[in-house]
């Protein structure tokens, strides 16, 4: 895929979470698709989608469960970033343990990294 074509595919300024399909997209690209339920990740993506994808949201995960809320949030963020089909979005804990941020990953660096992995 040419770099200019990749930039064209990413013209959508905001991600889209299709909860019924359990697919996260950026433009026409599938970033992440869930084969099995992932309640915490899906709850975070639904919260971003409902709020119109602001750069930051408060922790939408409920306080119940065995894990410390900050640990649960950090674990969920790690899982959101793992196993992306196309790593075009990066999620971050906000440093307070009470919120999540996201940002787009530069498509040209993503393509360069993918080409390097294939060449190795």
Task: Quick: pLDDT tens for 66-99.
Answer: 789 999 999 999 999 999 999 999 999 999 989 9
Strand 56-58, strand 89-93: pairing: unpaired
Q: Where residue 62 falls among pLDDT bands split at 50, 70, 90?
A: confident
Mean of per-residue pLDDT scores for the chain: 85
Rg of the chain, C-alpha, whole Å: 15
Structure token pair of residue 55: 């750069």
Read off the pTM: 0.79
What distance, in Å, lies between the first and last C-alpha atoms of the chain?
A: 18
Statement: residue 44 has pLDDT above 50 = yes
CA–CA separation, 66 and 62 (whole Å)? 11
Position 85 scores a pLDDT of 97
If pLDDT is split at 50, 70 and 90, which confidence band does 100 have?
A: very high
CA-nearest of 29, 28, 27, 46 to 37 is 46
Is the pLDDT assigned to residue 58 strictly greater than 60?
A: yes
Residue with more model confidence, 78 or 65: 78
Residue 100's nearest CA partner among 38, 35, 48, 33 is: 48
* Residue 50, pLDDT score: 98
């Amino acid at each position: 895929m040419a770099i200019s074509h990749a930039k064209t595919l990413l013209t959508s300024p905001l991600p889209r979470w299709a909860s019924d399909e359990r697919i996260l997209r950026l433009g026409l690209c599938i970033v992440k698709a869930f084969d099995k339920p992932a309640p915490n990740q899906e709850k975070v993506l639904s919260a971003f989608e409902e709020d119109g994808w602001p750069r930051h949201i408060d922790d939408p995960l409920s306080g119940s469960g065995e894990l410390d809320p900050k640990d649960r949030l950090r674990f969920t963020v790690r899982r959101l970033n793992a196993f992306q089909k196309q790593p075009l979005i990066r999620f971050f804990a906000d440093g307070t343990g009470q919120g999540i941020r996201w940002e787009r990953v530069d498509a040209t660096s993503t393509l360069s990294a993918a080409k390097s992995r294939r060449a190795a």
